[in-house]
Amino acid sequence: MKRPLPKDNEIQLNPKRYIVSKTDPKGIIEYGNDYFVEISGYSEAELIGTPHSLIRHPDMPKIVFKMMWDRINKAQNIMAVVKNLAKDGSYYWVVTEFEPKVDPITNEIISHTAFRKAAPKKAVEAIEPIYQKLLEIEKERGMEGSEKYLRGFLEEKNITYDEFINELVGNKGIFKIFFTAMKKMFS
């Protein structure tokens, strides 16, 4: 499926609704809730069986996805602020948290479920210049360069990535309560 050209049109998400998608261990979409289908602009049939990277916006640094995949492939959770790309080229910002599902017998990951809510405006305003810097570095020095920059950025602030994201989304208690509730509903 051909990826759309991005356009400068933000889709305003309903803060009371949530987006859920489930993929196999390789990131191929197996399920998307109605709101995911609506916001992405793709039909359910177009989404199922497609790599989740279909909605990856080119404004997102590759290092962010590498970090996410490194964590979720170890069955570790991660929360991130992500800019996604809709079928018509519009974009939308979300706070995403993942839940890997592990086979109790083989201990292998069998799926990943992503839970998303609208990202707070202040989180987007804070993360956008960081992502722009990471993209510039990736163009010049690849993902290794952007990873070094991100590590240095976090070390300078004396904060972990998780602490940084929690700080950005503010009122982390509400997001934690939301994500915990979603995980119980979809388990």
Q: Are 65 and 59 in contact (CB under 8 A)?
A: no
For range 151-178, the mean pLDDT: 82
Its pTM stands at 0.90
> Does residue 177 have a pLDDT over 80?
no
Phi, psi at residue 83, to the nearest 5°? -100, 120
DSSP string, 60-120: S-HHHHHHHHHHHTTT---EEEEEEE-TTS-EEEEEEEEEEEE-TTT--EEEEEEEEEEPP
Return the C-alpha torsion angle 29, 34, 36, 38, nearest 10.
Answer: 120
Q: What is the pLDDT of residue 187?
A: 56
**Domain regions of the chain by residue span:** 19-119+171-186
pLDDT bracket for residue 169 (50, 70, 90): confident
Facing residues of 99 across strands?
A: 113
CA–CA dist 23, 32 (Å, integer) = 9
**Residue type, position 62, single letter:** K
Average pLDDT along the chain:
91
pLDDT bracket for residue 172 (50, 70, 90): low
- Judge: domain 19-119+171-186, CATH 1.10.3210.10: no
Each residue's pLDDT tens digit, 105-137? 999 999 999 999 999 999 999 999 999 999 999
Q: What is the pLDDT of residue 98?
A: 87
